[in-house]
Amino acid sequence: MPVVVDQVALARLYGEPLFAMPRDLYIPPDALQIFLEAFEGPLDLLLYLIRKQNFNILDIPMAAMTRQYLSYVEEIRSTNLELAAEYLLMAAMLIEIKSRMLLPPKKVAEGEEAEDPRAELVRRLLEYEQIKLASQKLNQIPQFGRDFLRAQVHIEQALQPRFPDVGVGDLQQAWSDIIKRAKLVQHHVISREELSVREHMSIVLRKLQGRKFLEFEQLFDTSRGMPVLVVTFIALLELSKEGLLDVTQAEAFAPIYVRLAYTPTTFSEPPSQITES
């Protein structure tokens, strides 16, 4: 093999590049065949010839039709004998119809019309044309895999909702709001009162008993003064620390809600989504 520089091989023969066509290459005459028209069967060919020649399908000129049909059958007989078999059957039917049209019509009763030998062929052609047009309309409808693809997105969903935590800053802000409200109703009365954190823990639990949730501010009685508010707040922190309460909110800067830790998280009233601390 001579050395060839900057040339693309035409093909490979037994693994070796081929840069020129062999002089003794033989190509059979039937190696390449091109079909300009493809028909689904004899009825498809007949319908094509009728539409091409603008024949009236209800009054088919059998002589011209049979002549054109046989010329096509002769073309395919030389290459595909199996394909020509069904076309030959239709050719025999056309010749039979043509011969019946040359014979005198059969006598019929008075008032009745003689049967047209082409009637059965016309009926089959019309039915075939309707089915062909319907299939073309169906083929124009977008199809999955041909005209479009279905988008698939995998979304992981947890069985139990995961809520964002309630930050310390949120509790501080809520506590500051309660202090501001308490100052509005503050009385300058000096008295000594023994307050129990455990007692107020029980009070908070009783308020939440039977409720799905309660707003944070509703647990504080601002009319009883600052000491009670402080003890109530400490009681809330202790209950939350012991895991008896859940302090929740829907999102950042949203109202804070309190519920018993064993209360289901299904709510029929706002907030529609509760965030667990």
Q: Write down the pLDDT at residue 270.
A: 43
What count of other Cβ atoms lies within 10 Å of the Cβ of residue 277?
Answer: 17
Asked if the peptide bond before residue 271 counts as cis, ω within 30 degrees of 0, the response is: yes
Q: Write down the pLDDT at residue 75.
A: 76
Q: Write down the pLDDT at residue 208.
A: 84
Q: Write down the pLDDT at residue 277.
A: 38
Q: CB neighbours of 114 closer than 8 A, spacing ≥ 6?
A: 105, 106, 108
Is the pTM above the cut of 0.75? no
Number of H helices, E strands in the chain: 7, 5
Q: Write down the pLDDT at residue 188.
A: 57
Per-residue pLDDT of the chain (277 residues), as tens digits, is 444 444 677 777 788 888 777 777 776 766 655 554 567 788 888 888 888 888 888 888 888 888 888 888 887 776 666 666 778 888 888 888 888 888 887 776 776 777 778 888 888 889 988 998 898 898 888 888 888 888 887 776 655 666 666 777 778 888 888 888 777 766 656 566 677 888 888 888 888 888 877 888 888 887 777 888 888 888 888 888 888 888 887 777 778 888 888 655 544 444 444 444 3
DSSP for 185-249, written as a single string: T-----------HHHHHHHHHHHHTT-S-EEGGGG--GGG-HHHHHHHHHHHHHHHHTTSEEEEE
Pairing mode, strands 214-215 and 256-260? antiparallel
